[in-house]
Amino acid sequence: MGMPSVTISFTEKAATVVKRGERGRVALILKDTNLPGQNPVVCLSNEDIPPILSEKNKEQIKLALMGYVNAPKKVTAFIISESAEGYGEALDYLKTIPFDYLAVPGAETDGVKQDIATYVRSQRQQRKLIKAVLPNMEADSEGIINYATEKVTADEKEYSAEEYCARIAGIIAGTPITISSTYAPLTELTDCTRLTKEAMDAVVDAGKFIVWHDGEKVKTARAVNSLVTTTDTKGESFKKIKIVEAMDMISSDITKTAEDSYLGKYANSYDNKCLLLSAIHSYLKQLVNDGVLSSEQVEIDIEANRAYLEAHGIKTEDMNENALKMADTGSSVFLKAKIKILDAIEDIVLPIEI
């Protein structure tokens, strides 16, 4: 008869993780004097860019589409009038569509950048786990990548930090989930603002994503977001773009698949709790097999069950572990998981004795 449908849903989702992780989605907000008939503009390749747009905006979309190992799955550009005050209309629209990384090439003032950072934080709190690439924005957030290279040069053309955020968003979106965008080569560039080794170490430690010239080519430095303040619940790993992307993907997958295949569709019996637990375990196990995780564990949260029962006037001091696991918890299912996300190789230590 095969597996129950909820397990199938999670298994199918897990089977596509690597494919999805290789092709992220970029959203851009662009100001233009000419508005296209279809807005937003969805571009899978350069051929999809509307000719009505300014050359500057065409270039921004092309930069995003360049990607890294892969091109982004798509670039969605919302075009607003050059005379528009603020980006509220575009940001409201973006609440209604799925995307992974946002860049706003016109975000030059601190006020505008702060508004976008606040928007990203708000969306993440509402479980829409987006990220944004902003120029010189010390947001101290895993949802904001602070791109901080003053200028880069492609042949004789220079790009400011604001003008190159779309390219950085495309690089990150085009990075497979199993590797990092650290040291991604930028083959179109011939030079960039140069810093000493000590200065580069300092800016990376300050949560800044930069590019650098290694003497032969320009490439990205360590792929970090703007988070610098760690806590008991957000440690050093939350500073890495790769780790946060994997966490966001897992959280989104489990939430969406549970909503579509489980919530409201099963009685909250112990057997059906175990069905959900088993399905999530299958999903996480597939991520281990695909090299996204090194280990996983998911189980019923006995202490959360106990707290629920006590809060509803049910004494638990005489209940054993099995009784707590099987307890009726109304419409709530309390699970807990422990995973270890595999990082990419970024540091090599090799003492050589002679």
Does a structural domain hold residue 349?
no
Average pLDDT across the chain, whole number: 93
- Confidence category of residue 208, pLDDT binned at 50, 70, 90: very high
Residues 184 and 109 in one domain: yes
Structure tokens at 251: 């959280």
Residues 210 and 277 in one domain: no
Residues 59 and 163 in one domain: yes
Does a structural domain hold residue 248?
no
Q: How many CB atoms lie within 10 A of CB 17?
A: 20
Residues 233 and 270 in one domain: no
Does a structural domain hold residue 251?
no
Structure tokens at 205: 């430690």
In terms of DSSP bridges, do strands 211-213 and 218-220 run parallel, antiparallel, or are they unpaired? Answer: antiparallel
Does a structural domain hold residue 229?
yes
Residues 158 and 280 in one domain: no
Give 288-340 pLDDT, tens digit per residue: 999 999 999 999 999 999 999 999 999 999 999 999 999 999 999 999 999 99
Is residue 176 pLDDT above 90, yes or no?
yes
* pLDDT score, position 284: 93
Stated pTM of the model: 0.92
Give 11-29 pLDDT, tens digit per residue: 777 777 767 666 799 999 9
Measured between alpha carbons, how far is 134 from 103 in angstroms, rounded to an integer?
7
Q: For position 119, which CATH number holds?
A: 3.40.50
Measured between alpha carbons, how far is 138 from 145 in angstroms, rounded to an integer?
9
Residues 71 and 197 in one domain: yes
In terms of DSSP bridges, do strands 74-81 and 25-32 run parallel, antiparallel, or are they unpaired? Answer: parallel
Residues 63 and 168 in one domain: yes
Give 220-260 pLDDT, tens digit per residue: 999 999 999 999 989 999 999 999 999 999 999 998 888 88
* pLDDT score, position 306: 97
Element (H or E) spanning 299, and its range?
strand 293-300
Give 117-173 pLDDT, tens digit per residue: 999 999 999 999 999 999 999 999 999 999 999 999 998 899 999 999 999 999 999
Is residue 279 pLDDT above 70, yes or no?
yes
Residues 235 and 123 in one domain: yes
- The number of folded domains in the chain is 2
Residues 287 and 141 in one domain: no
Residues 197 and 276 in one domain: no
Does a structural domain hold residue 267?
yes
Give 258-278 pLDDT, tens digit per residue: 888 888 999 999 999 999 999
Residues 44 and 172 in one domain: yes
- Confidence category of residue 203, pLDDT binned at 50, 70, 90: very high
Domain that holds residue 329: 263-341
Does a structural domain hold residue 193?
yes
Listed residues 206, 241, 276: the one ending a domain: 241
Residues 190 and 72 in one domain: yes
